[in-house]
Structures are given as C-alpha cells and as structure tokens.
C-alpha cells in the first residue's frame, strides 16, 4: 500500500468564503501515483470546513444566508466563546454544521464522484493562513 500526504494552504481575504478545491485534490492524486484507494481531505482548523456539494454560485449564497441565520456573526456578545476576547464563536458553529472532512474513493486515478459532486473549502474566519490536509492511501 502506498501513502501520500500534502498540506494545501489558503489565505482568504474575507471573513467567509467557499473555495472550490477539486482541481487541487485531483492534482494531489496525480502526484501520489495512486490509482485505486481513498483520499481524505480535512480542514486543519476549527473555524473552517471541507465539504462536498454542487459548484453553483446560488447554492453558495444560500449556504451563507442559512449559516448566518443559524449562527449569526453579530452581535458578538451573544456568544460565551467570545468572552475570551475572540470574535469567532459563529465560525466554530458554522464549521460544525458544514463538517470537518470528506473521504472520496479513487478509481482508475480519478475521484469516483457522482455527477455534481465537487469538493469545497469553507472558510468562516479568514484573513489568515490556514491549512487543509490531503491524505491518500491505496495502490
Ligand atoms: Zn475561537
């Protein structure tokens, strides 16, 4: 069995953003030389997510609106976590909803996806450098 590990770095200029990362994950699969196996992609920060869904702008707008309804950023005083002097309690909650990681099958050197499945990095407390781990195992 072969294994491969890489960290992808992101610095989103805004507080929140969804970044399509399927091409970077496919590049990792090519680099790994693994043609059949599994790829794990996870956010290495507790205020960011990795998730799979449609690469469609309207849907991303809907996510933003929905997440702000569930865990609005302001007023920041509404959250006990922000008593520590931070202002990112909402980002922790949004990360929990959108998930930490995805695992995708690799078949014949490609992501074995359903038709509309794509991988996204969800940033909820950006404007600083953050990492995503890509781990691939297989042969
Ligand atoms: Zn925090």
Question: What pLDDT, in 10s, does the model give residues 8-21?
Answer: 999 999 999 999 99
Percentage of the chain lying above the pLDDT 70 cut: 100
| Ligand 1 mean position, distance from CA 42 (Å) | 18
Identify the bridge partners of residue 17 per DSSP, sorted by sequence position.
Answer: 123
* Cα(75) to centroid(ligand 1), Å: 15
Q: Cβ–Cβ contacts within 10 Å for residue 112, how many? A: 13
Query: Which residue range(s) make up the domain with 14?
Result: 2-138
pTM for the structure as a whole: 0.96
Could you read off the pLDDT of 26-38 as tens digits, one per residue?
999 999 999 999 9
Q: Name the token pair of 36.
A: 């059949």
Cis previous bond, 43, omega within 30: no
CA of 89 to the centre of ligand 1 (A): 5
Q: What is the CATH number of the domain that holds 39?
A: 2.60.120.460
Task: Please give the distance, rounded to the nearest whole angstrom, from the Cα atom of residue 9 to the centre of ligand 1.
Answer: 20
| Beta carbons within 10 angstroms of residue 125's beta carbon | 23
pLDDT at res. 86: 96
- Say how many domains are in the chain: 1
Q: What is the whole-number distance in angstroms between the Cα of residue 45 and the centre of ligand 1?
A: 10
Residues of the chain below pLDDT 50: none
Q: Which residues surround ligand 1, an ion (CB under 5 A)?
A: 86, 88
Cα of 69 from ligand 1 centre, angstroms: 19
């Amino acid at each position: 069995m072969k294994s491969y590990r890489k960290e992808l770095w992101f610095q989103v200029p805004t507080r929140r953003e969804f970044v399509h990362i399927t091409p970077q994950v496919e590049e990792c699969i090519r680099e790994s030389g693994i043609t059949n196996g599994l790829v794990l992609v996870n956010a290495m920060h507790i205020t960011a997510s990795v998730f799979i869904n449609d690469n469609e702008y309207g849907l991303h707008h809907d996510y933003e609106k929905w997440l702000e309804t569930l865990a609005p950023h302001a007023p920041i005083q509404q959250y006990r976590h922000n008593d520590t002097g931070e202002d990112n309690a909402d980002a922790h909650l949004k990360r929990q909803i959108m998930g930490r990681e995805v695992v995708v099958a690799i078949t014949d050197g490609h992501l074995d996806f359903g038709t509309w499945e794509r991988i996204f990095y969800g940033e909820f407390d950006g404007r600083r450098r953050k990492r995503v781990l890509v781990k691939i195992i297989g042969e």
